[in-house]
Amino acid sequence: MSDLNERIEAFYRFLWPFLAADKARYAYLDEPPGGRPASEFLGEIPARRGVGPGSRLVDVGSGKGKQLVELSRRLGCHVIGLDPLDENLELAAERLRKESLQDRVTLLKGSIGKMPLEDASVDFVWCLDMFNHVEDIDGALKECARVLKPGGSMMNCSAVGSDLLEPREAQRVTYRIGINPDTLSPERMAAAYETAGLHVIECGTTTDEGSPFLEEFDEGMAHHALRFGKMLRARSRVTARLGQDAFELLSAYEQWNIFLLIGKLTYCVWVLERVRP
């Protein structure tokens, strides 16, 4: 009990003067923590690994094709966009037509577990924000190593859990949005890279101080917390309009983003090299 009293006393001894202080005194707490846009530091990776005109890069899980355009323009190499969903491939095709990049970018339907690409046929495998959907981690990485030329490189940027993330929270937040919770373990990912013959060249999170991949803080992420709070308070009204299923899906999506905002989840960037046989 006395221990508790000491902690209560210490807490208010700090809190009252802190709250009463002139705002300017603690203005540093609201300063942006630094960093750069992710598109900037991620986009630099392939060139650093020697990708340029004449190279072949595959964007696995290319989605609506935003990166296909940026990578093709920045690197001048041939880009392949691979995605399992027809809707995504159609949206990407439309984007490429608008940007007049149809000749420099090829779209393929497929999954990371079985890519419609020859052995040792690409110089760079690009995986941005897709690996958390992968069920068979070892199989997918083995496939990435298979399509890479010896000495070729890969970039994977996917979410990992921090020590603030509780196992039950991880299960709850991942299930509805189709995420494999095993991909949130940096140790599991490190072991799988090793097994696949992909050597880690660079590694860092997008949130840790001093990380080469520190991303600028996006205050807009706070919107997810505000929306989720409002959804919970008006649960029956929102469910009636949205439907139970969509409510649960959106709840998981908002919580995923809140966890990213408060550091229960972060993105990790791995730059890998296919070990030469």
Ligand X SMILES: C[S@@+](CC[C@H](N)C(=O)[O-])C[C@H]1O[C@@H](n2cnc3c(N)ncnc32)[C@H](O)[C@@H]1O
Binding region for ligand X (CB under 6 A): 60-63, 66-67, 83-85, 88, 111-113, 128-130, 133-134
Assign 100 to helix, strand or coil. Answer: coil
Strand arrangement, sheet containing 78-83: 105-109, 78-83, 56-60, 122-128, 148-161, 265-274, 198-205
For ligand X, the closer CB: 129 or 202: 129
- Contact yes or no for 58/140 (Cβ under 8 A): no
Alpha carbon of residue 6 to chain centroid:
42
- Contact yes or no for 101/78 (Cβ under 8 A): no
| Core vs surface per residue 191-227: b (16+ CB within 10 A) or e | ebbeebbbeeeebbbbbeeebebbbeeeeeeeebeee
For ligand X, the closer CB: 181 or 238: 181
What angle in degrees, to the nearest 10, is found between the helix axes of 38-48 and 66-75? Answer: 50
For ligand X, the closer CB: 11 or 110: 110
CB of 76 to ligand X, least distance (A): 20
For ligand X, the closer CB: 217 or 253: 253
For ligand X, the closer CB: 6 or 44: 44
Quote the tokens at residue 262. Answer: 């408060």
